[in-house]
């Protein structure tokens, strides 16, 4: 009953792309008691036409509009203006409210709202080549969002390497450690060759509801979280039995024993956010990375995917995880969506195909361990390795 009607065919000018979408955006503004931006209020603009029709329908009987509703309206309008796909069913204000962490997963700074400052919460598409859809979104600081632009994992690593090689202390406002974290974050939603995904340290856990498309990273997340709840010995034994060879099982046990030893040395943390922050810091250890690579490079992507699927099916991956087929994991993503041009951040990064992802944590990141250890425990809940996704 409250769905936006189709605009009259004589009033939707052809100068505007997808006028039906714009009309629905204007209608939704009226339903929420919001006014579209002034530049959208030209007489022939379909956003204005939808807004005026909605005002005539709803009058004062509007729904409340909090910060997340206004944010959702801005995202819809921006997607239409840029010609990007926007998945309207699952991407709603409730989702934006759910995926927002207390702190930026890239910078670690507490997120603010409406201050106009660098730490304001900003919704970003993790894979800039896909549209606005569930699984491709995260909330990060405005500073991290501006730095990210349309850069992918390799570009972020190139910036980090340039800083480490004696370049500027920061590029686009991010230091080397933050660019490394951004590289891992963007890799989650960017399909990579198995060998490249396998070499990335888990410097940041996936934010809420972010899909992890690379099986190697999905396995990495699932194993890293084993020690955040009781019963890990039973679960790990069951997982080891599914490995294809004795060498793989030996590497599996060596990796998990190293991870557990580092986890015990870090001590327990009373809150969930602190536990996850400590999991991330484990991946600053070079030995953890070497033993992880020794394991994961004995497996191919299919073997990693099968192990993760088995863990979810048998309840070994945690009650909040469920398996999603690859096609369902990217449903509504509009892969191949036009990405805005990435501005230069000091200099253009090298091409992704030409550069290599480092096999272990860089020296600058190891020296940053103390700084990350002292930052507030504001890390978000991890999301679920896709083809894994959260229930509910």
List the pLDDT tens digit at each of the 392 positions of the chain.
466 665 554 344 457 889 999 999 999 999 999 999 999 999 999 999 999 999 999 999 999 999 999 999 999 999 999 999 999 888 999 999 999 999 999 999 999 998 999 999 999 999 999 999 999 999 999 999 999 999 999 999 999 999 999 999 999 999 999 999 999 999 999 999 999 999 999 999 999 899 999 999 999 999 999 988 889 999 999 999 999 999 999 999 999 999 999 999 988 777 777 788 899 999 999 999 999 999 999 999 999 999 999 999 899 987 656 567 677 788 888 876 555 554 444 333 333 332 333 334 444 444 433 443 344 434 333 344 444 543 43
Please check whether residues 58 and 160 belong to one and the same domain.
no
Do 26 and 168 belong together in one domain? no
The answer as to whether 32 is a domain residue is yes
Domain count of the chain?
Answer: 2
- Residues 134 and 91: their CA atoms lie apart, in Å, by 6
The b/e string for 244-253 (b: 16+ C-beta within 10 A; e otherwise) is eeeebbebbb
Residue 321, domain member (yes or no): yes
DSSP bridge partners of 86? 132
Same domain, 30 and 151: no
Q: Do residues 317 and 200 share a domain?
A: yes
Are 293 and 370 within one domain? yes
Which pair of structure tokens corresponds to residue 90?
């699952």
In a domain, 175, yes or no: yes
Contact 63/26 with Cβ under 8 angstroms? no
By DSSP bridging, strand 388-390 and strand 321-323 are antiparallel
Are residues 216 and 365 both part of a single domain? Answer: yes
Question: 61 and 176 share a domain?
Answer: no
Give the integer Cα–Cα distance in Å for 163 and 252: 34
Tell whether 54 and 198 lie within a shared domain: no
Does residue 259 sit in the same domain as residue 330? yes
pTM equals 0.83
Q: Are residues 29 and 155 in the same domain?
A: no
- Specify whether 205 is located in the same domain as 331: yes
Cis? peptide before 292, omega within 30° of 0:
no
What pLDDT score was predicted for residue 329? 80
Residue 45, in any domain of the structure: yes
Alpha-carbon dihedral of residues 314, 331, 143, 346, nearest 10 degrees?
A: 110
Same domain? 161 vs 27: no
Residue span of the structural domain in which 72 resides: 19-81
- With vertex at residue 368, the alpha carbon angle to CA 366 and CA 373, rounded to the nearest 5 degrees, is 105
Contact 332, 134 (CB under 8 A): yes
Closest by CA to 228, choosing from 291, 270, 184, is 270
Judge residue 325's burial from the number of C-beta atoms within 10 Å of its C-beta, 0-12 exposed, 13-18 middle, 19 or more buried: exposed
């Amino acid at each position: 009953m409250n769905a936006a009607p189709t605009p009259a065919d004589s009033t939707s000018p052809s100068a505007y792309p997808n006028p039906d979408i714009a009309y629905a955006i204007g209608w939704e503004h009226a339903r929420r008691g919001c006014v579209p931006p002034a530049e959208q209020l030209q007489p022939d603009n379909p956003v204005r036409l939808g807004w005026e029709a909605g005002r005539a329908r709803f009058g004062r009987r509007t729904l409340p509009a909090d910060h997340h509703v206004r944010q959702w309206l801005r995202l819809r309008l921006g997607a239409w203006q840029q010609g990007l796909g926007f998945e309207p069913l699952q991407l709603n204000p409730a989702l934006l409210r759910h995926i927002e962490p207390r702190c930026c997963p890239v910078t670690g700074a507490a997120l603010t709202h409406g201050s106009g400052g660098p730490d304001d919460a900003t919704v970003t598409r993790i894979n800039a080549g896909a549209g606005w859809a569930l699984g491709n979104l995260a909330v990060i600081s405005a500073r991290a969002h501006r730095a990210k632009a349309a850069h992918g994992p390799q570009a972020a690593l190139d910036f980090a390497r340039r800083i480490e090689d004696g370049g500027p202390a920061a590029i686009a406002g991010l230091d080397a450690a933050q660019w490394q974290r951004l590289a891992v974050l963007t890799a989650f939603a960017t399909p990579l060759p198995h060998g490249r995904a396998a070499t990335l340290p888990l410097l940041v856990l996936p934010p809420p509801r972010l899909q992890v498309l690379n099986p190697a990273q999905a396995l990495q997340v699932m194993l890293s979280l084993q020690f955040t709840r009781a019963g890990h010995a039973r679960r790990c034994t069951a997982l080891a039995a599914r490995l294809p060879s004795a060498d793989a099982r030996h590497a599996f046990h060596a990796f998990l024993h190293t991870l557990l030893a580092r986890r015990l040395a870090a001590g327990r943390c009373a809150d969930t956010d602190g536990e996850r922050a400590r999991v991330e810091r484990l991946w600053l250890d070079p030995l953890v990375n070497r033993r992880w690579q020794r394991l994961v490079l004995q497996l191919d992507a299919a073997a990693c995917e099968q192990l993760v699927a088995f863990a979810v099916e048998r309840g070994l991956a945690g009650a909040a995880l469920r398996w999603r087929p690859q096609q369902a994991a990217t449903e509504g993503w509009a892969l191949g969506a036009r990405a805005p041009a990435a501005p230069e951040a000091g200099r253009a990064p090298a091409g992704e195909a030409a550069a290599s992802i480092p096999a272990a944590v860089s020296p600058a990141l190891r020296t940053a361990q103390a700084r990350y250890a002292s930052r507030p425990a504001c890390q978000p809940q991890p999301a679920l390795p896709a083809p894994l996704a959260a229930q509910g």
